[in-house]
Structure 1
């Protein structure tokens, strides 16, 4: 590999690709990149090639592969036994291939039916209204991320999962201690004990509204092979993978709309455009920018060979701006003929199982926000709003607004 671009790099505009990725855009669909430690890898930046490779079984999600590519020194540190257990727990769906992945995906997928999500919409609306009431009552300026974009998906996911409202703070606290706290093992044990009690209570008193948890318990009873740890595993996977991405998408989407006042006015005048607007915003902001994979075998791509063991990264900020797939891909336009053909949710066997829930949450969150706060605006210049580093899910550190 020659003329390699450093990866990852930070964005300067929150909804635009990092400026340093311009050579990768010019070299579509596949380009060499250099990781933090000098290791060479590949960046996929073409729409058609992304669809091809994400359905190729030689592109592996196996995070136990010793050649799994790391994006930073922090991601490559030696973890404690408790941390390794947690990582294994949270990657049990997204970090495996083949039959184990299909079995776990089938288990999780049962909780994301269109019927279940449609039934959840009134609850999501209640959550959105409550958070917006609290933000307005606290007065401007406010951090839209902390007051609205983060709690709305978290509470919506807890409602989907079947975590009682009075337990949601505890569940959230322990889930994030498992991820980021110094006592991950202790938090894990506490959540396991809580879950055992919750399941025992649910077995005795089924939830009349049903939930994701009820679906998991039904699958356990039917198959006889879903244990308590697997139930907790599924709950945590949904909570952790669904919260940050949806929260970041709401905050980035709101920022993007405020930078496009004509589009915002159009959306406010015609709320029927919201479903298309949500997907167009999701395409443009590309929160999961830099999806990691590793080549399990040699793969020929034109006159280039991705060698076995090579790291492969999918840069959705560029993939979703491929001129061969979109007219004027850098523009915000929800009148595109196929607004759901973007690849931000992935493609193939590992495509996001919760994408329709994310759409429902964002549709209600954006619709209510722009209806109730017609004077919504940034409280500081856009260039002063801090952006998350490029080695994480893309997003904002905060979003100060007034109205």
Structure 2
């Protein structure tokens, strides 16, 4: 994969208003400039400047679109004429299957209304701002416990394994009602499932084990409900298969994203000491700082929708069946929406960012993620005022082959007493 996206030798295309457009892009940018682990894929800014919506030829030959502008992507995500169904999408990344299977039962990400509406209505009340804020005390306790363990161990430690991953992992276990004695095994298999560097067969085996475990957990909640999300949902009209799939969906959505935000966000702060100092000296900025880190990093970057009917978008005619791939990171760095967008500024009011998506499929667990980050970042920086990288920044391994971007490990240390 080249750093700069290539363009086809075909003639330029025309928008609906007759404006000449660049020739179709033939390769989606998927690499980052050397030494820029926090920036969007190399070349995205230039593509956005040339045309925030442009033609792109997919690896399977499909002629679709690439959206990089904030307003264009927001419009796509808000428009019910675009489908999120997996089986309708064309994949922009070489090497994948020609056709994806339909979403499994309980997977909200790959279905449309009315199926999506049914799932969403059942879950929305479980993830309200009020309910998530009630969990703050538990998040504070889990956070403090892991900071205590880090302090007892002493530096250096891998912040991913010591802090960033276990905090959201344990919160998800509590929400799903995973018994305390079973959490270590449960999370060990989730670790295998999320490690894309392993043999795919090993990932598949971990997925099967987790599905089997969740299926048994669902049956246990139906027989003897406890105070947790799965027990609440067990009283709904969801089938056992749908409830199992919903549990798997919540596990994936609520763990990987927050864990990588905590680790990659800390990496970004350590590489921007002026901003780290801002948050350390004014913990009251935590809410604002979290939104800016979400905007600046946008660790869940690439998505896609397929038009269900002919429509007009940003001066272009989109035909039914055409897929629009979009870069949320490029949108969150769009200078038309955020002044000086490539600067991390924790005092910025980053409202309107698309890190959690937008529209009907906007991240269901975003309020829980916010609670966890608002607690964890200030607590970490307060407990370890001399926190710093334990290796040169270029030696921090990045998650370049996973759906969620971030760091694989973050070795950190601090001054002892």
Cα distance in 1 for residues equivalent to 2:261 and 2:327:
16
| Cα deviation 1:156-177 (Å, max 9, x = unaligned) | 1112222232222233345567
Cα distance in 1 for residues equivalent to 2:261 and 2:341:
18
User: Contact 1:245 / 1:288 at 8 angstroms: preserved in 2?
Assistant: yes
| Residues 186-265 of structure 1: pairs in structure 2 closer than 5 A | 187-202=210-225, 207=226, 210-218=227-235, 220=236, 225-265=237-277
Q: Which residue of 2 aligns with 1:88?
A: 104
Cα distance in 2 for residues equivalent to 1:56 and 1:70:
21
1:51 aligns with 2:80: no
User: Which structure exhibits the higher relative contact order, with contacts defined as CA atoms closer than 8 Å and separated by 6 or more residues?
Assistant: 1
Residues 213 and 32 of structure 1: CA distance in aligned 2, closer, same or farther (over 3 Å):
same
Cα distance in 2 for residues equivalent to 1:382 and 1:177:
26
| Residues 3-82 of structure 1: pairs in structure 2 closer than 5 A | 3-4=24-25, 6-12=27-33, 13-36=36-59, 39-65=62-88, 67-69=89-91, 71-73=93-95, 75-76=96-97
Cα distance in 1 for residues equivalent to 2:99 and 2:52:
34
| Cα deviation 1:194-229 (Å, max 9, x = unaligned) | 331243222xxxx4xx332233134x2xxxx22222
Residues 319 and 396 of structure 1: CA distance in aligned 2, closer, same or farther (over 3 Å):
same
| Cα deviation 1:169-188 (Å, max 9, x = unaligned) | 23334556777233644553
| Residues 2-401 of structure 1: pairs in structure 2 closer than 5 A | 2-4=23-25, 6-12=27-33, 13-36=36-59, 39-65=62-88, 67-69=89-91, 71-73=93-95, 75-76=96-97, 88-89=104-105, 92-173=107-188, 180-182=203-205, 184-185=207-208, 187-202=210-225, 207=226, 210-218=227-235, 220=236, 225-336=237-348, 338-389=349-400, 392-401=403-412
SS of residue paired to 1:170 = helix
| Cα deviation 1:297-324 (Å, max 9, x = unaligned) | 2332244223322222221111011111
Cα distance in 1 for residues equivalent to 2:354 and 2:210:
35
User: Contact 1:110 / 1:215 at 8 angstroms: preserved in 2?
Assistant: no
Residues 186 and 389 of structure 1: CA distance in aligned 2, closer, same or farther (over 3 Å):
closer
Cα distance in 2 for residues equivalent to 1:303 and 1:384:
45
Q: CA deviation at 1:137?
A: 2.5
| Cα deviation 1:253-303 (Å, max 9, x = unaligned) | 111111111111111111100000001000000011111222222332244
User: Contact 2:142 / 2:167 at 8 angstroms: preserved in 1?
Assistant: yes
| Cα deviation 1:81-128 (Å, max 9, x = unaligned) | xxx69x6146x3110011110110111212112232122111111111
Which structure has the highest helix share of the two?
A: 1
Q: CA deviation at 1:77?
A: 7.9
Cα distance in 2 for residues equivalent to 1:184 and 1:60:
26
Per the normalisation by structure 1, the TM-score is 0.87
User: Contact 2:73 / 2:328 at 8 angstroms: preserved in 1?
Assistant: no
Cα distance in 1 for residues equivalent to 2:52 and 2:290:
26
Residues 325 and 385 of structure 1: CA distance in aligned 2, closer, same or farther (over 3 Å):
same
Residues 156 and 185 of structure 1: CA distance in aligned 2, closer, same or farther (over 3 Å):
closer
Cα distance in 1 for residues equivalent to 2:32 and 2:190:
29
Instruction: Structure 2: give runs of 5+ residues left out of the alignment.
Output: 1-12, 14-22, 195-202
Residues 286 and 60 of structure 1: CA distance in aligned 2, closer, same or farther (over 3 Å):
same
